[in-house]
Structure 1
Amino acid sequence: MKATLIPVTPFAQNCSLIWCEDTMKGCLVDPGGDVATILEAVKNEGVTLEKILCTHGHLDHVGGVAELASNHDLPIEGPHKDDDFWIDQLADQCVQFGFPDTEDFTPTRWLNDGDTVSFGNVTLEVLHCPGHTPGHVVFFDQTSRVAIVGDVLFQGSIGRTDFPKGNHDDLINAIKTKLFPLGDDVVFIPGHGGLSTFGDERRSNPFLQ
């Protein structure tokens, strides 16, 4: 699996373009906005999009989903159904944070812990990791040892849990019991900021000691 990051929205959210090197078929993870910028990156990499993946329902992660899905006939997979209330509130989120209006959407497929998602010859494992939001999911590629973790974990930090239905204990539990056991060598792509490894965060992240 290959990946490139496309920072979008005023929150510099990492939209990930990921693809199968054998087939050049891929998907977008968390296209939060700036759709023209995203599509330019897709064109530059020569990727044929197969679907959209969503880690959770916050605006800066899903603001471009409805437009991309509608205009390019792309199925939407994720997040877990416990985030449906966030997606239903997209219009209110736009007003609250001063974003352009965006449509809500219904995922083609809600995801559960233990599910898999595929594009080209790549299959990703799905881990339900609540805490930042109740329906947050993480995508893991066993072959390339890369995880796309949304806002669960960051380099030197963790996701906020002060939003509606956030839960600090659930977040810490998800990180320690679902992510860290995948291996210290796993590189993760967070929803904001730079890449890190689970090993580095396990050893030095001050919020996890």
Structure 2
Amino acid sequence: MTQTASEPPMKVAIIPVTPLQQNCTLVWCTKTMKGAFIDAGGDLDKLKLAVERSGVTIEKLLVTHGHIDHCGMTGILAKELGVPIEGPQEADRFWIAQLKEDGQRWGIQGEVFEPNRWLNDGETVTIGDLVLDVIHCPGHTPGHVIFYHAPSRFAIVGDVLFQGSIGRTDFPLGNHQDLIDSITQKLWPLGNDVTFVPGHGPNSTFGRERQTNGFVSDYVLG
């Protein structure tokens, strides 16, 4: 399949997975038809079906953070597909180390894995010919990262920010002030017109959240 003049360089499909309805995102480069899953937490049959329907070749798995609904089955899928795992930032190693126990607690299958590459703030990841910026956004978890494709004005933000809400910070090593700082100092500067996929629920834009979000709107933060 070749890219046409009217076709965007990047396409995205959102596949909610696990009983927690976590937004696993299939991102692909329309020029090469190479793709990646971001946060392949579970329901692998559903994910494989999405790949089949899209005609995409998965070349890697990306992870925003170490919570069970976001990466419980990432290690299993990586083995099945023979692809590497990139992310999150290494401060989330302790979360990944307890995926099996967390899986039993939540009734979700979880398997411990070691990423092929831990990610740090300011680095990039590639998907086909696409280049996504890695931005470290601690607060929900200490090693949380988000992925931003500047040409498309599009971000995958995991559980940092939601439509009308923000990530929980009552988990081990969560930090409310760190999360607020991540949102206001790392996300807002990207621009109001940036559309984002959150870890749960519907998409939104940074501008809309700056106007209406009851936790981090410009009005609330003064």
Is it true that 1:61 corresponds to 2:109 in the alignment?
A: no
Aligned counterpart, 2:145: 137
- The code of the aligned residue for 1:140 comes to Y
Residue 188 of structure 1 pairs with residue 196 of structure 2: yes
TM-score normalised by length of structure 1: 0.98
Residue identity (%): 59
Query: Residues of 1 paired with 2:11 and 2:115: CA distance?
Result: 24
- Residue 151, structure 1, aligned to residue 159, structure 2: yes
Deviation digits for residues 111-165 of structure 1, max 9, x if unmatched?
0000000011100000000000000000000011100000000000000000000
- Count of aligned residue pairs for this structure pair: 208
Note the C-alpha offset of 1:197.
0.1
Task: State the match for 1:177 in structure 2.
Answer: 185
Which residue of the other structure, out of 161, 170, 187, is the alignment partner of 2:169? 161
Which residue does the alignment assign to 2:207?
199
Q: Which has the larger radius of gyration?
A: 2
RMSD: 0.6
Distance (Å, rounded) in 2 between the aligned partners of 1:41 and 1:10 = 18
| Residue 20 of structure 1: how far off its partner (Å) | 0.3
Q: TM-score, normalised by structure 2?
A: 0.93
In structure 2, the partner of 1:50 is 59
Please tell me whether residue 79 in structure 1 is matched to residue 88 in structure 2: yes
Structure 1 segments of 4 or more deviating over 2 A? none
Give, as a single letter, the amino acid of the residue that structure 2 aligns with 1:105: F
The separation in 1 between residues aligned to 2:100 and 2:73, in whole angstroms, is 13
1: CA distance, partners of 2:104 / 2:27: 31
Distance across 1 between alignment mates of 2:94 and 2:121: 19
Inter-partner Cα distance in structure 1 for 2:202 and 2:108: 24
Q: CA-to-partner distance for each residue in 1:29-75, whole Å, 9 max, x for gaps?
A: 00000001001001100000010000000000001201111111110
Give, in whole Å, the separation in 1 of the partners of 2:68 and 2:111: 11
* 1:79-158 matched pairs, under 5 angstroms: 79-100=88-109, 102-158=110-166
SS in 1 for 2:151: coil
Give me the whole-angstrom Cα distance separating, in 1, the residues matched to 2:76 and 2:108: 14
Q: By how many angstroms is 1:103 displaced? A: 1.7
